[in-house]
Amino acid sequence: MAGVLGGAAELLGIDSSLLRVAFMVIFVFTAFFPLALIYLLWIFIVPNEEDVRLD
């Protein structure tokens, strides 16, 4: 949705689809709240790719 899982997958060097599927499985089995809170926090904490300067 916000690119959090795609960016995390790129950082970890794994397939983004695999990370998204794992996230959804864990999301369903933990009654939504823990991962939803973590995902929302990452949206606001982690900067966007275009906001990061690599001078």
- The stretch 26-52 carries a mean pLDDT of 79
pLDDT band at 27 (very low <50, low <70, confident <90, very high): confident
Q: Quick one: which of 52, 31, 32, 55 has its CA closest to 7?
A: 52
Could you give phi then psi for residue 31, rounded to 5 degrees? Answer: 65, 30
| Whole-number Å distance between alpha carbons of 14 and 22 | 12
What is the model's pTM?
A: 0.63
The rounded percent of the chain whose pLDDT value lies above 90 is: 11
Q: Mean pLDDT across the chain, nearest whole number?
A: 81
